[in-house]
Structure 1
Amino acid sequence: GVAAELDKISAMEAQISLALEEIGAKEQEAIDSFQKQGGDLKLAIAKLEAARGQVEAKVSPQLLDVYNRTAARSGVAIGVLDGNRCGACRTVIDGGRLIDLRNQAPLGMCPSCKRLLVIA
């Protein structure tokens, strides 16, 4: 009767309590993992920003200005001349434009997308 039903309810409450504890432990593991990954990412970002600062110190202010404006406009500011194509927009650069661009080595500008191009 009633005692048997109460025992079933008590057993069910114990199962629910155990499940809630397991869920809480898994949630805490996920939080800890997320915080560690976030800390690792912040450290990596700080290192990259420091390295970027060292590179920026070696670049002319005019070139840095072109780079920053191009990055703000299109996200990717620099590509590599790949044969006769811009490595960023993949546009074919033909004839005289390609000759002019190669004469600007080691750094030119894509006539199509206006990104900086490293010319080997």
Structure 2
Amino acid sequence: MFLAWYHQHSLPVTPINPRASEIALPSKTYSTAASPRDLPSPSQTSLSVVTPPAVTLKLLEEAQAVGVPAVWLQPGTFDDAVLAYAHKHFEAVIAGDGGRGYEGWCVLVDGEDGLEEAGVNWTSQKL
């Protein structure tokens, strides 16, 4: 569902999945990267994370090592240790209390607002 949101907004996206080489949506199939180390331009990439906290921390450590500058930690993906690590090691972090959803900042609920805050004119990029 999260991948579909980025697809519907015509944003460049590379899913990270160590167990599948591709993920198919009804209208497009995306090749995956096994880890942040395999992203084509990690220093120009932001991660939208949808993993449990223990997995998230390891993912953030890999992302930080290759220069990923920003992360969006979806509800349920973080605990205090993950938040502390993210705020210490990334230029920009979206996570925690806030947004319009009752569980905090979520791309499915707050994505358009996040894009506008980042200065992305997503309305001109719709499919």
> Which TM-score applies when normalising by structure 2?
0.21
> Higher RCO, 1 or 2 (CA under 8 Å, sep at least 6)?
2
TM-score, structure 1 as length reference: 0.21
- The structure with the larger Rg is 1
